């Protein structure tokens, strides 16, 4: 997207300059392209900073949670993909926080529950805020 927008934007500026003092339509065209570029930048920044909870969850998920060892966003590795987990938890309106506290039942792949259970030693040592961040991160998929 960026690689497309930049040359397009540069071309638009060139066009606006070339037609300097000319008619309005071209100026408007240049303006909208400028706005579009700004919007693109803002969106990119938003995606990272939009939800600090999701960002924190990602840090824990990849860091001290070591969850990435078994969970990837879109493919099943040892554990189900985050997309699969997210889908089922949203459908059933269930709580990942409760699951990670060993207070809920496995909903995604009960036959592999024992493998996941080994991680409760880590997740039960986490604060509610940390678990909520993990939940927000998983549900962001």
Give the span between the Cα atoms of 98 and 135, in whole angstroms: 10
Query: Is 37 a residue that touches ligand HEC (CB under 6 A)?
Result: no
Return the residues of window 57-116 that contact ligand HEC according to CB under 6 A: 65-67, 69-71, 78-80, 85, 96, 99-100, 106-109, 112-113, 115-116
Query: Is 48 a residue that touches ligand HEC (CB under 6 A)?
Result: no
The greatest distance separating any two alpha carbons of the chain, rounded to the nearest whole angstrom, comes to 73
Query: Is 54 a residue that touches ligand HEC (CB under 6 A)?
Result: no
Q: Provide, rounded to whole angstroms, the least separation between the CB of residue 78 and ligand HEC.
A: 4
Q: Provide, rounded to whole angstroms, the least separation between the CB of residue 103 and ligand HEC.
A: 11
Q: Provide, rounded to whole angstroms, the least separation between the CB of residue 57 and ligand HEC.
A: 9
Query: Is 8 a residue that touches ligand HEC (CB under 6 A)?
Result: no
Burial (CB count <10 Å: 0-12, 13-18, 19+), residue 117: exposed
Query: Is 33 a residue that touches ligand HEC (CB under 6 A)?
Result: no
Q: Provide, rounded to whole angstroms, the least separation between the CB of residue 25 and ligand HEC.
A: 54
Query: What b/e sequence results for 48-75 when a residue is b if at least 16 CB atoms lie within 10 Å of its CB, and e otherwise?
Result: eeeeebbbbbbebbeeebebeebbbeee
User: 10 or 78: whose CB is closer to ligand HEC?
Assistant: 78
Q: Where are the alpha helices (DSSP H) in the chain?
A: 2-18, 24-49, 52-62, 82-91, 96-100, 113-117, 120-123, 128-139
> How large is the C-alpha radius of gyration of the chain?
23
Number of shown-chain residues binding ligand HEC (CB under 6 A):
26
């Amino acid at each position: 997207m960026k690689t497309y927008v930049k040359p397009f934007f540069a071309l638009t500026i060139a066009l606006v300059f070339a037609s300097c003092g000319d008619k309005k339509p071209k100026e408007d065209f240049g303006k909208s392209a400028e706005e579009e570029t700004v919007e693109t930048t803002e969106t990119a920044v938003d995606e990272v900073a939009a939800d600090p909870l999701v960002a924190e969850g990602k840090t824990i998920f990849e860091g001290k949670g070591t969850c990435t060892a078994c969970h990837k966003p879109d493919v099943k590795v040892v554990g189900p993909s985050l997309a699969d987990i997210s889908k089922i938890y949203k459908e059933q309106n269930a709580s990942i926080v409760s699951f990670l506290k060993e207070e809920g039942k496995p909903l995604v792949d009960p036959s592999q529950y024992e493998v996941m259970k080994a991680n409760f030693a880590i997740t039960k040592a986490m604060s509610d805020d940390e678990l909520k961040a993990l939940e927000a991160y998983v549900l962001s998929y």
